[in-house]
Amino acid sequence: MDSGRWGRGRGVSWGMLPLLGLHAVNEYYRLPWKPPVTAGLLAANTLVYLRPSLLDALLPTIDEVWFNPHLILKYKDMKRFFLSPFYHVGESHLVFNMMSLLWKGIQLETSMGSSEFASMVIALVGMSQGITLLLAKSLLLFLDYERPYYAQYAVGFSGVLFALKVVLNSQSENYTNVYGLIVPARYGAWAELILIQMFVPGVSFLGHLGGILAGLLYLKMKRSYSGSDPLTAIIRGVCGVLRWPLRFISDMFRLRRGRISGRGTVGGRQTGNVSGIWRCQACTYDNSGWLRTCEMCGTTRTSNTGSSGQASRGSRDLTLEDLRRRRVERFG
């Protein structure tokens, strides 16, 4: 999260955004499976920043969504609570966060699956925001810290990114490089929190700390609950419902590709058990049960075969030249 005021009339610079797009496309091109939730989060954050004309009237301005504990608690403004992670104060802020999201999201979504990853991101957004709000209110009540934290304005996805970093490195025994400092991977988020606070002005300390604590709380809850969480089950069900029409359309196109004309197909799976279809034994073309001769080669169907009957015995001995001649005679 970044703090500080930002005017409404800002212009969008295009210096770094093409690099972000190129990097994302390159990373996804190399993957055998493209994580859809990570791609959706990248697109959502970028579209909110760019504010295209189709969305401009629908999206609130950044002045309406700054994360401010005082305004959230006083006016019950939940719009600020839920939307502030998806707004960024500038191009470099957006690109830095999205590069980090791309790297973490690909690894986590690939290992966890899209449904569980989406569930985790939703939970971490709510938990990181809630913990940050709780910390700000606690500092006001017990230490009288009003200006530094309770009245602070902040936006950005970095609180969630800190939580994702905690989850990603929770089981790692390796070391990681945090701005030139080599530390155990499981403590990487804490080291990054301290270094960013020391060397990057205007960042939200409570927002980043809330993200780390949210990640730790999520891991603790995950270990104490062995089954699939209800949110994951809901997301999985919704995805299944959305995929059903796509599968239906895909199956329809697949069936149409298997047909070459009229009512039959050539080769492929045996269709003798399909009602109203009989297969010509001379050319393996599947014909409608209403036809008495093969639509492809003209071979006569025997009268006692039923809907899944076979062609006359003599047709099995036809040579390729005979089949060619019959087709020429039939189709001219």
CB 198 within 8 A of CB 175: no
Q: What does the buried/exposed string (b/e) look like for 236-255 if buried means 16 or more CB atoms within 10 Å of the residue's CB?
A: beeeeeeeeeeeeeeeeeee
d(CA 50, CA 13): 10
d(CA 77, CA 201): 27
CA 216 from centroid of its chain's CA atoms: 24
Tokens of 282: 């001379």
- Provide the annotated active-site residues: 158, 208
d(CA 84, CA 1): 9
